[in-house]
Chain A
Amino acid sequence: MTPAIRVHGLVKDYGRTRALHGVDLEVRAGEVFGFLGPNGSGKSTTIRVLMDLLRPTAGSVEVFGTAPAAGGPGLRARIGYLPGELSFPARMSAGEYLAYLAALRGGRGRRRTGELAERLSLDLSRPLRALSKGNKQKVGLVQAFMHDPELLVLDEPTSGLDPLLQREFLLLAREAGAGGATVFLSSHMLQEVEEVAGRVAIIREGRVVDLDDVRALRARAGQQVLLRFADPVPLAEFVGLPGVENAVLDPSDGVTLTCLLRGDPMPLLTAAARHRVVRWQAEDRELEDLFLDFYRQPAEPTGPARPAPGAGATEVGR
């Protein structure tokens, strides 16, 4: 089956600045795929190449087996796109603008605007200029979903939405996925995509540094664990346990142990249970921590591209 998105060795230069250093990516038809990276890592640039707003400097890009420039309007008709930054024309209501965007699709999507607006509690009669950031985001979501596209390309879809609406968005994305659509969504936060995405690619400084199942990624990311005991414990009992890294005992009291836990928690729990535990705290680590790992362990490639610490937006020499 043709993948929904296939990106190979994508390089993009802006003048003398290189924004993408050879991005590799394959999104299977029908999957919900997370595209993670910090701000300025090349997420939006990659997405704009998919939408044929930008043209590749080198490398190949295919959406449903066709290069975006060659696919043209026919290809874009199959895509719903939410830009990372939305700006709307003045002197139009949300409803008028959505009707205009539907008209650009030959009327497709006009039927669903009302229903989607209701689900996201968006008032269609309000003028676009008067909308808050969250409400603007809703307009963006409605226009991306309204024509039931085969592929949804969503750049930071939950930014500006309150938690309730984030839920509603996740439902929408899941429904689209269940209906057979491919969903490609970017974010700078792992927790935003992990509930809905099956696989995740991590982009950093213009390169995909990791591509994996979201659960495997979460397991590898691990948890930051804090244990407090009633009496001082020997550190040696915890160092070297399977899945336990960076175990440190607070030298000031000798009873507070912190460590990074990856994988099965049983060995740590068993070891801890030999003493009286008075406090247990485990926190999922965030994307930023994962990036720190990539800096620390440059020799452990897990995705199709090797992590490249320090390879920022380098100048293309001339």
Chain B
Amino acid sequence: MTVRGGTVLAGVLRTTRRSLLLWALAVAAVTALYTAFYPSVGGGQMDAMLESMPSEFITAMGFDSMTTAAGYVTSTVYALLGAVLTLVCAIGLGARLVAGQEEDGTLELELSAPVSRRRIYAERLTALWLTVLVLVLALSASLGVLSAALELGLSATNVAAASTGLLLFGGALGTVAFAVGAATGRRGIALGAAAAAAVAAYLLSYLSPIAEAPWMERISPFHWYIGAEPLATGFDWPGLALLAGLAVLAALGGAAAFARRDLMV
């Protein structure tokens, strides 16, 4: 008798469901909070506020288009707090799902069960992506409800485009943490590598216009995600493809190393 597909996935989700619910509520709440402020700070007031700021600061923070609803929600939710929360959750979980549970020993009985390493890897990675998907859906739902209630005029297609970008951005960096953890068995290394990649992605994207160095944007996953302002312009296929490519590369590299190395060392 062999194990039914999804058994490992279901086991992981059972232990993480409570914290996943809390994360989803937090993301939805933060999204609602920022979006609800738009009518009071948007439009004319925002122009006045921005005039008092140095132009380099405005460029660096991506506040150029804060006067439109799409620009405001992009700057506050998609580029800032929504993305940070999603990243923290995805990277933390990614580092824990193999490396963390290997280090604390809870993975030993699963690894010695009649389940292949490849399947453990695949189903645990699926759990990571489902988690990020739930967060992004919570964010999108919260935004959708408020957009309709406050008549912000955000198109559903564009919300889907920006949310798809966030799913791939958070999922890709979470996958980096997961893969590095699966390759090394060290949670600290996994966290460090993925967090460094995330910070570098932000810095490259923000500094690029100031340094007038377009190559910096081109190699930044953050720019791949948000650079084309999908909430205003819709699906940015090249950017999404780059993010998906990063995720696939990381996943395959991690899988190859995980299949070969010593576990529970």
Q: Point out residues on A near B: beta carbons under 8 Å.
A: 14, 48, 51-55, 72-74, 76-77, 79, 81, 83, 85-92, 96, 100-101, 103-108, 143
Given contacts A53-B263, A54-B265, contact A101 B15 (CB under 8 A): no
Which of B3, B15, B113, B265 sits near A92, CB closer than 8 Å? B15
Which of B101-109, B195-203, B218-226 has 4 or more CB atoms under 8 Å from chain A? Answer: B101-109
Question: Which residues of B have CB within 8 Å of A76?
Answer: 112-114
Known A-B contacts A92-B14, A104-B8, A105-B3; the reply to A14 vs B265 at CB < 8 A is: yes
Centre residue among B15, B18, B261 by max chain A CB count within 10 A: B15
Assess whether B1 is interfacial by the CB under 8 Å rule. yes
Residues of chain B whose beta carbon lies under 8 Å from any beta carbon of chain A: 1-4, 7-8, 11, 14-15, 18, 101, 104-106, 108-116, 260-265
The distance from the CB of B116 to the nearest CB of chain A, in whole angstroms, is 5
| Cβ–Cβ contact B18 & A48, under 8 A | no
Residue of B nearest to A77 (CB): B114
Among candidates A81, A90, A96, residue contacting B112 with C-beta atoms closer than 8 Å: A81
Q: Are A88 and B114 in contact (CB under 8 A)?
A: no
The chain B residue sitting closest to A50, CB to CB, is B112
Give me 5 other A-B pairs in contact (C-beta within 8 A), A86-B108, A87-B105 excluded: A14-B265, A87-B104, A89-B106, A96-B14, A105-B113
Complex CA distance for A91 and B20, rounded to whole angstroms: 14
User: Assuming A55-B262, A87-B105, A91-B18, is B112 touching A103 (CB within 8 A)?
Assistant: no
CB distance from A82 to the nearest CB of B (A): 9
Of A53, A55, A73, A91, which is within 8 A of B108 by CB? Answer: A53
Secondary structure at chain B's binding surface: helix, strand, loop or mixed? Answer: loop
The answer to whether B112 touches A83, judged by C-beta atoms less than 8 angstroms apart, is yes
- Complex Cα distance, B113 from A89, in Å, reads 16
Q: Interface of chain A, helix or strand or loop or mixed? A: loop
List chain B residues, Cβ under 8 A from A101. 109-110, 113
Cα separation A106 to B110 with both chains bound (whole Å): 13
A108 to B112, CA, bound (A): 15
CA distance A85 to B112 in the complex (A): 14
Name which of A86, A88, A89 has the most chain B CB atoms within 10 A of its CB: A89
A107 to B3, CA, bound (A): 8
- Given A87-B105, A91-B15, A104-B7, check contact A73 B112 (CB 8 Å): no
From A51, A86, A96, B105 is in contact (CB under 8 Å) with A86
Residues of B contacting A100 in the complex (Cβ-Cβ under 8 angstroms): 7, 11, 14
Q: Give the Cβ gap from B224 to chain A, nearest Cβ, in Å.
A: 35
CA distance A89 to B108 in the complex (A): 11
CA of A83 to CA of B112, assembled, Å: 9
| A103 and B4 contact, CB distance less than 8 A | yes
Q: Is the CB of A54 within 8 A of B263?
A: yes
User: Provided the pairs A73-B115, A77-B114, A91-B15 are in contact, do residues A106 and B1 lie with their beta carbons within 8 angstroms?
Assistant: yes
Q: Which residues of B contact A105 (CB under 8 A)?
A: 1, 3, 113-114
Chain B residue numbers with a CB within 8 Å of A108 are 1
Q: Which of A48, A52, A72, A104 contacts B3 (CB 8 A)?
A: A104
With CB as the reference atom, state the residue of chain A lying closest to B17. Answer: A91
Question: What's the Cα separation between A214 and B78 when bound, in Å?
Answer: 69
Q: Is the CB of A103 within 8 A of B105?
A: no
In the A-B complex, the 8 residue pairs with the smallest Cβ-Cβ separation, listed nearest first, are A106-B1, A87-B105, A77-B114, A104-B113, A73-B114, A76-B114, A53-B263, A81-B112
Q: Knowing A87-B106, A104-B110 are in contact, say whether A54-B3 is a contact too (CB < 8 A).
A: no
Determine which of A55, A83, A89, A106 lies in contact with B4 in the assembled complex, contact meaning CB atoms within 8 Å: A106
Evaluate contact between B3 and A87: CB separation under 8 angstroms: no
Alpha-carbon distance A92/B109, docked complex (angstroms): 15
Chain A residues positioned under 8 Å from B260 (CB to CB): 55
Contact of B116 with A72 in the complex, beta carbons under 8 Å:
yes
Distance between A138 CB and nearest chain B CB, rounded to angstroms: 14
Q: A48-B264, A73-B2, A105-B3 are in contact. Are A90 and B108 (CB under 8 A)?
A: no
Q: Is the CB of A107 within 8 A of B112?
A: no
Query: Which residue of B15, B108, B262 contacts A83 across the interface (Cβ within 8 Å)?
Result: B108
B15 CB contacts on chain A under 8 angstroms: 89-92
CA distance A52 to B113 in the complex (A): 11
User: Mind listing 29 A-B residue pairs with CB under 8 Å?
Assistant: A51-B111, A51-B112, A53-B111, A53-B263, A54-B263, A55-B262, A73-B2, A73-B3, A77-B1, A77-B114, A81-B109, A83-B112, A87-B104, A87-B105, A89-B15, A90-B15, A91-B15, A91-B18, A92-B14, A92-B15, A103-B3, A103-B4, A103-B11, A104-B8, A104-B110, A105-B3, A106-B1, A106-B2, A107-B1
